[in-house]
Amino acid sequence: MITFEQVSRRYRERLALDSVSWHMDEGECVVFAGPSGAGKTTLLRLITHELAPSSGTVTVGTFRGARLPRAKRALLRRTLGIVYEDFRLLNDRTVFENVALAVRITGHFADAEVVPRSLYALEEVGLQQKQAAYPSELSAGEKQRAAIARAIVNRPAVVLADEPTGALEPASAREILGLLRRIHDEGAALLVVTTRPEIGEALGGRILRLHDGRIAADEAEARPPWSAAASGAAPPAALTDRGA
């Protein structure tokens, strides 16, 4: 569903991603963990096609190639559900309107369908009581739940989350991770980028460590070298791409 084939991205002199290859299937949960500057945001923006790779190919579902026309890029972004560390809610709209706008913008639904769809998504995140509130009236955890309702309301095949608990205290963070896990259990693929490796454990996802623009190890598949040699097993694909 998402495939990176030897993807590099440069900003002038700085190589932010260095020939990165990886793949995730439909319904999978993948967590990219890495320190600040590792290339996580670049990776997400390549998936959303806000950025084009300097070399290599990014495939997201049937979207493939560096130069998608603007209309296709807009369609892709609506097809993905995206959750940000800083929520990115519209502060002059109610919680309901924030979610409903995401439905309306697809152009697929009559007004009569927008309301029940939006309310259902708010119910899924436990925020139906706050639908008339403005973001400024919500706690940080509630804001993130509203943002998640907006991300899932169009039933995306994949939900992308950029440090989704970064602005939350521990109890809200646990709640948000539980919610993301439930969304994944219900069938959506989930891709999270974070500086916190424990988030991968909390979500039960495959953890890929990103460091200096490279995938360091696929922990879910990593084997000690002697065991790989003994079993004759192929190393993880992410580790064999260089020079291929």
What residues line the site for ligand ADP (CB under 6 A)?
11, 14, 16, 34, 36-42
Q: How many CB atoms lie within 10 A of CB 50?
A: 13
Query: Whose Cβ is closer to ligand ADP: residue 41's or residue 57's?
Result: 41
CB of 181 to ligand ADP, least distance (A): 23
d(CA 37, CA 230): 37
Query: Whose Cβ is closer to ligand ADP: residue 16's or residue 158's?
Result: 16
CB of 165 to ligand ADP, least distance (A): 15
Query: Whose Cβ is closer to ligand ADP: residue 102's or residue 193's?
Result: 193
CB of 42 to ligand ADP, least distance (A): 3
Query: Whose Cβ is closer to ligand ADP: residue 51's or residue 146's?
Result: 51
d(CA 190, CA 26): 9
Q: Sort residue 155 into left (φ over 0), alpha (ψ -120 to 50) or beta.
A: left
Query: Whose Cβ is closer to ligand ADP: residue 36's or residue 62's?
Result: 36
- The answer to whether 127 and 95 have CB atoms below 8 angstroms apart is yes
CB of 36 to ligand ADP, least distance (A): 4
Query: Whose Cβ is closer to ligand ADP: residue 11's or residue 240's?
Result: 11
CB of 134 to ligand ADP, least distance (A): 30
Which residue type does 229 have? A
Q: What are the residues facing 191 on neighbouring strands?
A: 30, 160
Question: 215: part of which helix (H) or strand (E)?
Answer: strand 214-218
d(CA 98, CA 91): 9
Burial profile 2-19: b = 16 or more Cβ within 10 angstroms, e = fewer: bbbbbbbbeeeeebbbbb
CB of 16 to ligand ADP, least distance (A): 3
